[in-house]
Amino acid sequence: MSVVRGVARSWQHRVAAGLALVSAVPCVGAEIIAGPFVSPVNAHVYYLLGESSWQDAEAFAVHLGGHLATLRSDAEQGWVFDRFGAWAGQFRSLWIGLRRVSPGGPFAWASGEPVPYTHWLPGQPDNSPVTGGEAYVHLLNTGNAYGHPGGYWNDLASPNVVFTVFNPICGVVEIVPSGDPEVRLTVESDAAGARVTAATPATTVRVVWEASSTLTPPSWSVVAVESDVSGRATWSRLAEGGAGSGFLRVRAHDTPGFNARLDRVIRRVRVVHPDAVLLESSPVLSGWVTGWPDASPLRAVLRVAGGTVVAEQGDPWGDPSISFRAAPWLGDMELPWPVAMNLEEAESALREAGYGSEYKTLTLRQPVYPGMTEPYFIFGTPSHGFVFVGTTTRKVFVGN
């Protein structure tokens, strides 16, 4: 059994992110050879890993609950190189978390932080064609055969099999302490597969499980959404594909999310109108968003005896205001509730189909168009207009 601690990240409201490598052997070629050390510059925790590729070093860093080091200033740069560049009397190059996000493209930190500070060797990065392109960044080793001063940044291919004068190259892991509660993941493997248990803050009412086959760069897909209105501290899931299939992470939220909020609104309306049938619902967005609109007001339209109810909920935990209109709601079909897909899954499908994750409008409804026989999440996107995601078939397509 292995235990992985997730580092809390602020994403929407209070979000704690845990990540587990679903494999009996987390990373081949990377191991801790020194640490932990607490830097006097920023109070972050650092480890030095053994010689490996950048990819293995970053995967092992994530396994530890961090990333390869992000360097934000001369002070951080100097401390990392002075501490690890000649550890135990051996000169080393050091992998840091900077890498290209696409071949020949811009550099970005694996931690997701911006890149205001750099320390490139003059003439670098050069994306040398000798190696077929260089996507990863290391601190140069002291005493290298080119005579370059140690500590400067250079881009390199990984694994490094061409410019071997820079070997050995070892990863430096950085773990940023968080004031938010952690999500702690426990992975147990048996005949049924790898079961991941997430220990979360007791106030957690919703967890989103996501999977990725790679961390360079990551491409997370939502595989399940769970909710519990009373909140709980333990959630468990059997990893699809079994051990060795890739990475699994969970994000814990203290807000219920679109589907759970809509379910609450429907139940409240039915206290007054037992015959209420859902017609459509949407978050009330004030501008373009790129994430789940947990804090946005929610609006639902329901058919009731003698007319229509429009229910609006501002507080995710509050009761909706209910407005009755003695007129039918034209152009809508009954929407069977609950639907077979959560908003988080629909947004993931939108992104994976190549339509991005930015949208300005979102509606859940069952259109009256011929051939549309299921409810859809309909996203108003900046470049493709309205994009439909089927809640049953999971088909994604641009509407007319």
Ordered by start, the domain boundaries in the chain are 1-254, 257-398
Count the Cβ atoms, other than its own, within 10 Å of residue 159: 15
Taking a C-beta distance cutoff of 8 angstroms, is the pair 379, 355 a contact?
Answer: yes
pLDDT at 102: 86
Note the pTM of the prediction, 2 decimals: 0.60
The secondary structure of 284-315 as a DSSP string is --SS-BSS--TTS-EEEEEEETTEEEEEEE-S
pLDDT at 18: 53
pLDDT at 215: 60
Query: Long-range contacts of range 82-90, CB-CB < 8 Å, 24 or more positions apart?
Result: 83/37, 83/39, 83/46, 83/48, 84/34, 84/46, 84/48, 84/170, 84/172, 85/139, 85/141, 85/142, 85/150, 85/151, 86/142, 87/33, 87/34, 87/48, 88/34, 90/168
What's the fold here for domain 1-254?
A: Mannose-Binding Protein A; Chain A (3.10.100)
Which structure tokens are listed for 190?
Answer: 């048996």
pLDDT at 203: 82
Q: Could you tell me which of 76, 107, 244 has the C-alpha nearest to residue 172?
A: 76
Q: Which residues contact 147 (CB under 8 A, 6 or more apart)?
A: none
pLDDT at 230: 82
Taking a C-beta distance cutoff of 8 angstroms, is the pair 293, 285 a contact?
Answer: yes
User: 15-71: per-residue pLDDT in tens?
Assistant: 334 555 443 333 335 788 988 888 888 888 899 999 999 999 998 998 888 999 999
**Below-50 pLDDT ranges, the chain:** 1-17, 21-28, 180, 242-244
